[in-house]
Amino acid sequence: MKRYRVAIAGGSGYAGGELLRLLLRHPGVQLVAISSRSQAGRSVYKIHPNLRGATELKFSRPEELEPVELLFTALPHGRVMRQIEFFMSRAERIVDLSADFRLKDPRDYPSYYGYEHRRPELLKEFVYGLPELHREEIKGAHLVAVPGCTAAAAITPLKPLTEQFGVKLVVVDAKVGSSAAGAAASPAGHHPERAGVVRSFKPTGHRHLAEMKQELDPHDRISLNFSPHAVEMVRGILSTSHVFLEDDYDERTIWQCYLEAYGQEPFVRLVKERTGLYRYPEPKLLLGTNFCDIGFERDARTGRLVVISALDNLTKGAAGQAVQCMNLMLGLDERLGLNEWGFHPV
Amino acid sequence: MKRYRVAIAGGSGYAGGELLRLLLRHPGVQLVAISSRSQAGRSVYKIHPNLRGATELKFSRPEELEPVELLFTALPHGRVMRQIEFFMSRAERIVDLSADFRLKDPRDYPSYYGYEHRRPELLKEFVYGLPELHREEIKGAHLVAVPGCTAAAAITPLKPLTEQFGVKLVVVDAKVGSSAAGAAASPAGHHPERAGVVRSFKPTGHRHLAEMKQELDPHDRISLNFSPHAVEMVRGILSTSHVFLEDDYDERTIWQCYLEAYGQEPFVRLVKERTGLYRYPEPKLLLGTNFCDIGFERDARTGRLVVISALDNLTKGAAGQAVQCMNLMLGLDERLGLNEWGFHPV
Amino acid sequence: MKRYRVAIAGGSGYAGGELLRLLLRHPGVQLVAISSRSQAGRSVYKIHPNLRGATELKFSRPEELEPVELLFTALPHGRVMRQIEFFMSRAERIVDLSADFRLKDPRDYPSYYGYEHRRPELLKEFVYGLPELHREEIKGAHLVAVPGCTAAAAITPLKPLTEQFGVKLVVVDAKVGSSAAGAAASPAGHHPERAGVVRSFKPTGHRHLAEMKQELDPHDRISLNFSPHAVEMVRGILSTSHVFLEDDYDERTIWQCYLEAYGQEPFVRLVKERTGLYRYPEPKLLLGTNFCDIGFERDARTGRLVVISALDNLTKGAAGQAVQCMNLMLGLDERLGLNEWGFHPV
Amino acid sequence: MKRYRVAIAGGSGYAGGELLRLLLRHPGVQLVAISSRSQAGRSVYKIHPNLRGATELKFSRPEELEPVELLFTALPHGRVMRQIEFFMSRAERIVDLSADFRLKDPRDYPSYYGYEHRRPELLKEFVYGLPELHREEIKGAHLVAVPGCTAAAAITPLKPLTEQFGVKLVVVDAKVGSSAAGAAASPAGHHPERAGVVRSFKPTGHRHLAEMKQELDPHDRISLNFSPHAVEMVRGILSTSHVFLEDDYDERTIWQCYLEAYGQEPFVRLVKERTGLYRYPEPKLLLGTNFCDIGFERDARTGRLVVISALDNLTKGAAGQAVQCMNLMLGLDERLGLNEWGFHPV
């Protein structure tokens, strides 16, 4: 099999490390470089200690990047848009894991991120990298922006509903692990403070809401609400979406809707059983996998749909999603290199 | 100070143990007995090992109970109603921690608990033991039923809103610790399965919803929704209530509403700050305390109020609440024996 | 590639589930059956929910087992010895994950396990399944007994020392995750009791000590001591062996000793660095992998060697070890199906 | 009761916060000031959020300190020795929680802490603040240095043995919570890295060993070894001391030794039972308490004593110990303000 030449720019963070883990054993690509300004020259296993013995790679300097067929950019928000010219000069295709090119409307950046976008004309060039929604566009794309982790966890289960039914109001109440806040030490992530919390850290106005609006409610017809909570977990997101439809449907109809939307999807599983501890999606079963599990229950009293979705924020919520996009962009089997099943117990 | 004679029936569970911890150092009462059918004859510290050295008490047989001025019943649901005659014959006052007398409408028992109530005529004799809502009734009461833990965590912050504003729709999304499921070992609580979960275990139809309806929405005008989640935590509940009002109010008005309702309450604190890791309620700070902390934020985009409340499910959610009720019933200072401040870090 | 026919007897426990995870993607074998008396007829994913979608297999009845080329027995201790005749009649080779055939001296069973061995004459037929020590024997073996998890974690790092140096005294202080106690719910494993503990549950006389004596000190010349502790973790063991040698050696000599012993081992890594959070072995990096990581430090004050080893109790400590043995027994590449690298962060 | 005027210098750390919690409800003292250079002017509850509503105190500037009868210094190591002149000019008595005056031999500072002591002549003026060992000296002292947390957890259980028996060799294997590393965010304490670890962070040469040598083995006759491990826990230490005596004694003799040493101690409990999950000391039961629990088991095979001790590193391991010393220094009941019993479950 031909191996495509790929590289990672900004590979010292958690998403970069997960990308590295996935790419090192991916049969269709050859990882030729992983750059990091702060770690240049060091062995990658010093930063990603799970890969001790897996590779001899060292971090390279960003400017040393040689031409590749596909480049992953895993830099902090705001940095990719500044260097996009350089990256585009080096890579035929770019998969950006930052927030810099996720939003189509340049006005969303000052509004949600607090800064003006530097290259607003490029926003429409990037495809929103959620294969379940945009597979065909991604296949032909040269520029893809991978969704935010809680955005992916909310949009994936909600899209079939907004598509097929009239949705009046949604409350997305997410529970997220500590790795979602990144690899840099901070008071909020200091273990004695972070351990065992149930912390409402951004009850309103979270940045990922912008993506949800864009993908689910472009015409602003839905009361779309989002509140994330930090819970005791390193990896993982459970998203509970409380959905109120304009009309009432029975569980069979909803199930049918999901089956049509996702019955053939390789990385979406419908999880809804009568019994068992894991009868609904559970993030801890998804560690390191590229699955987004979806379940739901209809509230007989109020008509509410409780839609439950789970994923690993670093895999389906970042690096796995990026690899899935890469597979599509390069014409490879979409599932290549993403064949993990999770652990139990864990 | 006169010390009232009190006893605990069914003291081998977690709520019973917490009650014991509180009563042993309570200056206004003398704990004369703690009964347990399964543990009769054993030293209490064998079951409640935190109390090693704190007391020489042994569990007594239930039938040995001598007359007391106040009896706490901390038996499994469905057991108190069967023995209520006996308990009333032994105690001038009863504070029941089970669900048996929380609901006023006997039809709620088959509907929410799956069984007919055996003594429906007594339901109206019991006062719902939430001092912030029913202080005056509790003062004169001989029979009090302490609220369910997630019910207390939801009703306390929501009542001022339903009282003062038109509330259209509420979604209560709760995150609860493992001790809420009780002291008996079970597959769902087995550590390898329970550790690190974010488990949606009862997305609709949870029993505590019946109490919320009763206290917040007796005329069934609100779309009241409740979904609890098990998270990695032993003690504690964080309840996130997503509230949609008929009219829109600014934060100041909501703040004023809470200040009026709870500004003088000894065990309710308003927690809402601009900065800091603990700017909203956090259950881990409330370990062993009788506080219910309440905070909120208004969603400028949709008008939603995000109301955040936290408490320790075994203290303010059970035993502490029971002691607070006892203090009121016996004419003692309401705060007696409940003067803990919590720990940090923890 | 020819696929050998293999089966699992007793596959509803944690080791059985991990075995299943490994075998389902193993390119050299075909899993033809997984039996469980209690779960017969149910889909395996109901018990091992991480494998939802991975297989259509159902648990079969034990007595239905058809002939296979290799059988894994993952039954509770004491059960395999009772059925060994049946298993041997059905399988050309057996890899036993229970303790029933680990010990060579029948007298160790009453002494450490509290019961007489039923088939003492078979004990010498079984090879102790630690490939790093018994590779050549395993290659030709038809009967292999996989080591206990804490035994493997202690014997692997200590064997090169007892082999090459005079060892006077060893204290093995192990820290183990909750999955090591098995899948059955019990008071000791109830989440509110087990969460966050550092529990010394068997300070002396632990069963796995018998294996350590057998493999490290058959002539009873070493003061060999072992104390395991339960800590907050689901999977994983960290074993700290405090070793006192008869003579004093510098770190270089010890390092050389390990390099000679394990420099070519596919699943033993020497982890000893000057800096970094992961400069010594850390079990959480080894989740789901077949590695046993080993590090050490010499105590300049007392001459003590602190030998630190880590592994995943369900993989290298059970199922992974079993698959490694299987590969050797069947003449396959020893590493087949065991190519995982672990996660970070996790 | 007369209330002594006390203050805290350096009160923004975890030990300072715990001290504050204990002093605010201590009936014998009045806390007149808590200083912090970095937090001067801020309300203490902003840094110690558990104390919201408990006090109106604000952090003062260090130089504003007014004369007090007793001052607690809770500054980082190396800072108190630089300011000791100032502190002595303001306070009649000093209880230092840092390491600056714990060691009697000035040469230990360069050896263990890496710096020369600035005021070596003062070292002998400070009493080592372990009441169980130095009660009478503390009573008359004006200068007391509180032990390091893991030192207290090891010295307390070992002293009766070194006192009464010939001890040849000890291995202290400690398991500690994350709060022991302090309140400052750091890569080692970043939640995704620190969560769920069993980390051998200082296998040899830990600073607290100097205290153990000083208190247990001043004549350097014992092979005294110490290795701490970071485990998943915020507060708490479990110390497992593997003790080899010159002669062999039965359990009764050891028990008698402990009974004589600690039978009357208010804050030492002997915990050794035949059955139960908590038959040995368990740190999680000691949260916020001033107990040091001690248990042991004799290894019939090797004669080893396994001595198990547990305490809360911030209470008996720091602030509680300091308050106990204060009570003695001021002639108060030693137990005053330290009457907590711990929680269960927790």
Option in D14, D195, D234 nearest A178 (CB):
D195
Q: Is the pLDDT of residue C260 over 90?
A: yes
Q: Are B29 and B54 in contact (CB under 8 A)?
A: no
Share of chain A above pLDDT 90, in %: 99
Option in B25, B50, B341 nearest D285 (CB):
B50
Mean pLDDT of B66-71: 97
Q: For D7, phi and psi rounded to 5 degrees?
A: -145, 165
Confidence of residue A1 (pLDDT cuts 50, 70, 90): confident
D200 with C306: Cβ contact below 8 A: yes
C195 with B196: Cβ contact below 8 A: no
Contacts of D123 (CB under 8 A, 6+ apart): D101, D103, D104, D105, D106, D117
Catalytic (active-site) positions of C: 149
CA distance C210 to C112: 7
C-alpha closest to that of B151 among B201, B215, B202, B199: B215
C49 with A17: Cβ contact below 8 A: no
Give bridge partners of residue B268 from the DSSP assignment: B292
Neighbours of D127 (CB within 10 A): 23
- Return the CATH fold of B150-312: Dihydrodipicolinate Reductase; domain 2 (3.30.360)
Q: pLDDT tens, C306-343?
A: 999 999 999 999 999 999 999 999 999 999 999 999 99
Mean pLDDT of C171-181: 98
| Coil vs helix vs strand at D330 | coil
Mean pLDDT of B263-284: 97
Q: Are A71 and A93 in contact (CB under 8 A)?
A: yes
CA distance B34 to C128: 53
Residue B34 vs residues B20, B21, B30, B61, D100: alpha-carbon distances, Å: 8, 12, 11, 9, 49
In sequence order, what DSSP letters do the residues of D147-210 get, joined into one string?
Answer: PPHHHHHHHHHHHHHHHHS-EEEEEEEEEE-GGGG-SS--GGGBHHHHTT-EEE--SS--THHH
CA distance A220 to A51: 45
C-alpha closest to that of C258 among C157, C343, C162: C157
Confidence of residue D66 (pLDDT cuts 50, 70, 90): very high
| Coil vs helix vs strand at A17 | helix
What local confidence, expressed as pLDDT, does residue A137 receive? 98
Option in B204, B232, B244 nearest A299 (CB):
B204
C-alpha closest to that of A18 among A197, A193, A146: A146
- Sign for the CA dihedral angle at D51, D56, D61, D62 comes to negative
CA distance B147 to B129: 6
Catalytic (active-site) positions of A: 149
C341 with A54: Cβ contact below 8 A: yes
C310 with D282: Cβ contact below 8 A: no
CA distance B336 to B26: 7
What local confidence, expressed as pLDDT, does residue D1 receive? 75
CA distance B52 to D263: 14
Interfacial residues of A (vs C; Cβ cutoff 8 Å)? 14, 17-18, 21, 24-25, 46, 48-54, 178-179, 183, 234-235, 269, 271, 276-278, 282, 285, 287-288, 339, 341-346
Option in B224, B240, B302 nearest A223 (CB):
B302
Measured in angstroms, the CA of D150 and the nearest CA of chain A are apart by 18
Question: What is the CATH superfamily name and number for domain A4-146+316-329?
Answer: NAD(P)-binding Rossmann-like Domain (3.40.50.720)
What are the residue ranges spanned by the domains of chain C? 4-147+316-329, 150-313
Contacts of B285 (CB under 8 A, 6+ apart): B278, B293, B310, B342, B343, B344, B346, D49, D50, D52
Neighbours of D140 (CB within 10 A): 9
Residue type, A31: L
Q: Are A61 and A35 in contact (CB under 8 A)?
A: yes
In sequence order, what DSSP letters do the residues of A195-239 get, joined into one string?
Answer: TT-EEES-SS--THHHHHHHHH-TT--SEEEEEEEEES-SS-EEE
Opening angle at CA B107, ends B101 and B108, nearest 5:
60
Measured in angstroms, the CA of A140 and the nearest CA of chain D are apart by 37
C-alpha closest to that of C149 among C218, C226, C39: C226
Q: Are C134 and C214 in contact (CB under 8 A)?
A: no
Q: Are D94 and D88 in contact (CB under 8 A)?
A: yes
Interfacial residues of B (vs C; Cβ cutoff 8 Å)? 14, 177-179, 183-187, 189-192, 194-196, 232, 234
> Is the overall model pTM greater than 0.90, yes or no?
yes
Question: Up-side HSE of residue C96: CA atoms within 13 Å toward CB?
Answer: 29
Ramachandran sector of residue A141 (left: φ over 0; alpha: ψ -120 to 50; beta: rest): beta
Residue B125 vs residues B308, C94, D148, D226, D249: alpha-carbon distances, Å: 32, 68, 57, 63, 64
| Coil vs helix vs strand at B122 | helix
Q: pLDDT tens, C66-75?
A: 999 999 999 9
Residue type, D257: C
C-alpha closest to that of B287 among B258, B239, B328, B320: B320
In sequence order, what DSSP letters do the residues of B258-298 get, joined into one string?
Answer: HHHHHTT-TTEEE---SSSTTSS--GGGGTT---EEEEEEE
CA distance A139 to A327: 8
Strand order from edge to edge, sheet including B29-35? B59-60, B29-35, B4-9, B70-73, B94-96, B143-145, B127-128
CATH 3.40.605.10 fits C150-313, yes or no: no
Q: What does the mean pLDDT of chain A come to?
A: 97
Confidence of residue C161 (pLDDT cuts 50, 70, 90): very high
Residue B136 burial (10 A CB sphere; 0-12, 13-18, 19+): exposed
Q: Are C95 and C71 in contact (CB under 8 A)?
A: yes
Contacts of B24 (CB under 8 A, 6+ apart): B31, B51, B54, B55, D341
Which residues in chain B have their CB less than 8 angstroms from residue C50's CB?
none
CATH, range C4-147+316-329: 3.40.50.720
Residue D279 vs residues B46, B52, B61, D308: alpha-carbon distances, Å: 9, 11, 25, 11
CA distance D208 to D218: 14
> What is the DSSP pairing of strand C237-245 with strand C167-176?
antiparallel
In this chain, the answer to whether the domains covering C4-147+316-329 and C150-313 adopt an identical fold is: no
Residue D262 vs residues A296, C245, D47, D270, D309: alpha-carbon distances, Å: 59, 35, 37, 8, 13
Q: Is the pLDDT of residue A164 over 80?
A: yes
C-alpha closest to that of B97 among B77, B74, B70: B74
Interfacial residues of B (vs D; Cβ cutoff 8 Å)? 14, 17-18, 21, 24-25, 46, 48-54, 178-179, 183, 234-235, 269, 271, 276-278, 282, 285, 287-288, 339, 341-346
C178 with B196: Cβ contact below 8 A: no
Residue with structure tokens 């203090």?
B327
Neighbours of D247 (CB within 10 A): 9
Interface confidence (ipTM) of the complex? 0.97
CA distance D95 to A75: 49
C-alpha closest to that of C70 among C33, C95, C101: C95
Neighbours of A34 (CB within 10 A): 29
B195 with C14: Cβ contact below 8 A: no
Subunits close to A (at least 3 CB pairs below 8 A): B, C, D
Q: Is the pLDDT of residue D202 over 90?
A: yes
Q: Is the pLDDT of residue D110 over 90?
A: yes
CA distance A128 to B332: 63
Share of chain D above pLDDT 70, in %: 100
Q: What is the 3-state secondary structure (H, E, C) of C157-212?
A: HHHHHHHHCCEEEEEEEEEECHHHHCCCCCHHHEHHHHCCCEEECCCCCCCHHHHH
Which residues in chain A have their CB less than 8 angstroms from residue D201's CB?
none
In sequence order, what DSSP letters do the residues of B38-56 get, joined into one string?
Answer: TTTTSBHHHHSGGGTTT--
Q: Which of A168, A169, A170, A171 to mutate to test the interface with B (most CBs of B within 10 A)?
A: A171
For chains C and D, what is the number of CB pairs under 8 angstroms? 151
Confidence of residue C40 (pLDDT cuts 50, 70, 90): very high
C198 with D277: Cβ contact below 8 A: no
C344 with A17: Cβ contact below 8 A: yes
Mean pLDDT of C144-154: 98
b/e sequence C108-123, b meaning 16+ C-beta within 10 Å = bbeebbeeebeeeebb
| Coil vs helix vs strand at D140 | helix
Confidence of residue B1 (pLDDT cuts 50, 70, 90): confident
C107 DSSP 8-state letter: T
CA distance D212 to D171: 12
Residue C119 vs residues A235, C171, C209: alpha-carbon distances, Å: 47, 33, 21
> What is the DSSP pairing of strand A70-73 with strand A29-35?
unpaired
Q: Is the pLDDT of residue C1 over 90?
A: no
Interfacial residues of C (vs B; Cβ cutoff 8 Å)? 14, 177-179, 183-187, 189-192, 194-196, 232, 234
Residue with structure tokens 């009219």?
B247
Q: What is the largest CA-CA distance in chain D?
A: 62
Q: pLDDT tens, B165-192?
A: 999 999 999 999 999 999 999 999 999 9
Q: pLDDT tens, B16-42?
A: 999 999 999 999 999 999 999 999 999
Question: Up-side HSE of residue C173: CA atoms within 13 Å toward CB?
Answer: 32
